[in-house]
Amino acid sequence: MAGVARDARAQRHADGRRRCAWCGSDPLYVAYHDTEWGVPVRQDEKLFEMLCLEGAQAGLSWLTILRRRESYRRAFDGFAAEKMARYTRAKRARLLADPGIVRNRLKVDAFIGNAAAYLQIRRAPGDFTNYLWQFTDGRVVRRRPLSVAEVRSSSRESDAMSRDLKQRGFRFVGTTICYAFMQAVGMIDEHQRYCWAGRAPGSPADAVSAVRRK
């Protein structure tokens, strides 16, 4: 949340709704905040994609990655892990020349290695969704911080997830990245207090969440 004052609270936007202080006014960011961030995801492929993209964010802003998400999907074959795990040296070279993504060799190599590690988990009993959600016992952890200063950057759940992912061969999965990932896919719902998208029963965002789970 670089660039956001630590004492910042949910901010009122032009449409009259209060949103988390980190959201800003960029329409793409607002749409992401309102319809995706904090909404539980329980599909293997979507979880794998988001884990990769959160790793791509390391050292950058999420908006930078969000603006390139479609380019990432195109470049990495829709994050089809079976294809990614078989990428050749020539394919890696093309990725590193692609202006639509962040051309960082370590991150590109991590995506490919993570695809192989992901496939290993999927070959075991269970699936990737259950594997990841076990770190919150299958439930959504809800917090309602008043100010940005109260928003966490890690937790015991993200610590545990990070350790286990690393042991399985994943890269760019430090605890801070894992915590941001858990927030993004709704394992941790940490919309600020008074943000309209808080998942209180019956809230507009709760209805959005219900639709997305169908």
Instruction: Classify residue 51 as exposed, middle or buried by CB count within 10 Å of its CB (0-12, 13-18, 19+).
Output: buried
- 172, 110 contact by CB (below 8 A): yes
Residue of 22, 29, 37, 62 marked catalytic: 62
Residue of 32, 36, 45, 194 marked catalytic: 32
Ramachandran angles phi, psi of 90, nearest 5°? -65, -40
195 vs 178: CA distance, rounded Å: 23
Catalytic residue list contains 62: yes
136 vs 158: CA distance, rounded Å: 9
Catalytic residue list contains 32: yes
HSE-up of residue 23 (Cα within 13 Å, Cβ side):
28
Residue of 49, 54, 157, 190 marked catalytic: 54
Active site residues: 32, 54, 62
